[in-house]
């Protein structure tokens, strides 16, 4: 059978190619921590291969080195991001940390473009890993990179303002330096950074990929050589994805496109209605053209997605009132779940970001971020309109 080309088909079948041969219809869930050895010589061979970063070996040896359920989910995600490989971690932050550690062996200077997810910003700015990170505008990358620059980090659409960054332009400016794109907000339904030359595509799989608010996970999609280095970091540092979480993440993939598209359709309607509402000063949504570099929605994305931020005339008081008054929409951090979530970046996710940086990027006291779910749009609007008063 020829390989199916369309996303919905690949997402439904990826990582399931061997089901007929195994005579199963759902992925086997392997919870083993250790594996019986046939003989010492072949065990040693497998051990060496896995420690050096092989994806699999004839014997998985120990679950920190390899787990078949996790490896299956990784194969599925590599297929959807159109990369050779994928390495899964215990969280999005563990995934980012692993890339930073792997690249730091090539040079301890990195560049990053703000805004970023609050904890990513914090990790990079804190110097916690002994890496020097300079925050730059995309136009400064060429001038600011040095011989020791080993990674360039961007996030698009960016959290929480939905600013867009031109991936292809950053890749061009980066030259030989690998570019990491945090593509969490876009998912492979809306954006394929590897096609544009990004060497690392990172996701907090906690969000859309798993999609049901019950899994914390992170993945890095990349070429096989980079994946080997990332697996070595994972085996050494232990930031593993649990196989049950990998199973649930894999189960989310067949509905990924349906979820992303329904949430996006809802978001388009809500963004238009919010933009007309007298309590609202500004709506930041790529689909309204009201974010930085909004034209990139047409060129590098397949749609504007289901995240937006909006600024209230009434500032902090009005924002906290909306958070208190919503009933259907859950006042909570996180995003990309089947249900709608609303949160206050300055008070929650981006609290760890320097106050000046918050101001520079419009993370104000009156800003709320809305992650639109797949509920009926009229019910969502009724809830929001009532909360806005
Ligand atoms: C949530 C998030 C992260 C961190 O992921 P965790 O799974 O919470 O560790 C990183 N980047 C973005 C854009 C996120 O939204």
Distances (CA, A) of 314 to 267, 280, 281, 388: 23, 9, 9, 10
Q: Ligand 1 pocket test: which of 88, 90, 93 has the largest number of ligand atoms within 8 Å of its C-beta? A: 93
Cα–Cα nearest to 82, from 183, 212, 221 = 221
Provide the token pair at 264: 């996006």
Interval between CA 370 and ligand 1 midpoint (Å) = 15
Q: Whose CA is nearest to atom 12 of ligand 1?
A: 117
Nearest protein CA to atom 7 of ligand 1, as residue: 92
Q: Give the per-residue pLDDT at 361.
A: 84
Tell me what pLDDT residue 184 has.
98
Length of the chain: 389
Ligand 1 pocket test target in 184, 186, 307 with most atoms within 8 Å of CB: 184
Q: 115 CA to middle of ligand 1, Å?
A: 13
Residues (pLDDT < 70) of the chain are: 1-4
- DSSP-based three-state secondary structure for 25: coil
Residue 119 alpha carbon to ligand 1 centre in Å? 8
For ligand 1, atom 8: residue with the closest CA: 92
Contacts of 101 (CB under 8 A, 6+ apart): 129, 233, 237
Between the CA of 92 and the centroid of ligand 1 the distance, in Å, is 5
Q: Which helix (H) or strand (E) holds 378?
A: helix 377-388
Q: Which atom of ligand 1 is nearest to the CA of 185?
A: 13
How far, in Å, is the centroid of ligand 1 from the Cα of 270?
Answer: 24
| Closest to 204 in 3D by CA, of 122, 113, 79, 116 | 116
Ligand 1 atom with the smallest distance to the CA of 336 is 15
Joined tokens for residue 260: 């992303």
Q: State the closest ligand 1 atom to the C-alpha of 159, by its place in the atom list counted from 1.
A: 13
Q: How does DSSP assign 306-368, residue by residue?
A: SEEEEEETTHHHHHHHHHHH-SSSEE-S---SSS-EEE-TTTTTTTTS-HHHHHHTT--TTEE
At residue 357, the pLDDT reads 83
Atom of ligand 1 nearest to the CA of 218: 7
Q: What lines the ligand 1 site, CB under 6 Å?
A: 91-93, 117, 119-120, 155, 159, 182, 184, 204, 206-207, 216, 218
Handedness of CA 95, 98, 102, 108 (dihedral sign): positive
> Measured in angstroms, how far is the CA atom of residue 186 from the centroid of ligand 1?
13
Ligand 1 centroid vs 375 CA: distance in angstroms?
Answer: 23
Q: Whose CA is nearest to atom 1 of ligand 1?
A: 204
Q: Report yes or no: 80 and 11 within 8 Å, Cβ to Cβ.
A: yes
> Between the CA of residue 180 and those of 97, 274, 366, what are the distances in Å?
12, 33, 31
Give me ligand 1 centre to Cα 249, in Å.
15
> Of ligand 1's atoms, which has the minimum distance to the CA of residue 116?
13
What is the pTM (predicted TM-score) of this model? Answer: 0.97
Cα 90 to averaged position of ligand 1 atoms, centre (Å): 11
């Amino acid at each position: 059978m020829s390989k199916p080309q369309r996303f919905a088909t690949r997402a439904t079948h990826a990582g399931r190619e061997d089901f007929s041969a195994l005579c199963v219809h759902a992925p086997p869930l392997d919870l083993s921590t250790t594996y019986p050895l046939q003989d010492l010589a072949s065990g040693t061979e497998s051990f060496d291969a896995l420690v050096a970063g092989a994806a699999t070996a004839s014997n998985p040896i120990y679950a920190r080195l390899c787990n078949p359920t996790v490896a299956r989910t990784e194969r599925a995600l590599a297929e959807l991001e159109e990369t050779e490989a994928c390495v899964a971690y215990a969280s999005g932050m563990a995934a980012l940390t692993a890339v930073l550690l792997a690249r730091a062996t090539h040079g301890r200077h990195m560049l990053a473009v703000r805004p970023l997810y609050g904890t990513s910003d914090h990790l990079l700015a804190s110097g916690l890993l002994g890496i020097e990170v300079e925050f730059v505008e995309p136009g400064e990358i060429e001038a600011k990179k040095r011989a020791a620059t080993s990674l360039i980090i961007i996030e698009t659409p960016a959290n929480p303002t939905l600013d867009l960054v031109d991936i292809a332009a950053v890749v061009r400016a980066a030259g030989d330096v690998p570019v990491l794109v945090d593509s969490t907000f876009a998912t492979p339904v809306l954006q394929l950074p590897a096609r544009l030359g990004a060497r690392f595509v990172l996701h907090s799989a906690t969000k859309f990929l798993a999609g049901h608010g019950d899994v914390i996970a992170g993945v890095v999609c990349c070429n096989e050589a980079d994946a080997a280095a990332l697996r070595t970091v994972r085996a050494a540092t232990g930031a593993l994805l649990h196989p049950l979480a990998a199973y649930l993440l894999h189960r989310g993939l067949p509905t990924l496109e349906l979820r992303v598209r329904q949430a996006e359709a809802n978001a388009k309607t809500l963004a238009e209605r919010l933009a007309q509402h007298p309590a609202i000063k500004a709506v930041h949504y790529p689909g309204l053209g009201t974010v930085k570099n909004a034209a990139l929605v047409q060129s590098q994305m397949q749609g504007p997605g289901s995240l937006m931020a909006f600024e209230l005339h009434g500032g902090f008081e009005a924002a906290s009132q909306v958070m208190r008054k919503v009933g259907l929409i859950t006042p909570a951090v996180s995003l990309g779940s089947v249900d709608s979530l609303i949160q206050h970046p300055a008070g929650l996710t981006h609290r760890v970001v320097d106050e000046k940086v918050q101001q520079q990027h419009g993370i104000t006291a009156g800003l709320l971020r809305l992650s639109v779910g797949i509920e009926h749009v009229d019910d969502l609007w009724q809830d929001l309109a009532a909360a806005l008063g």
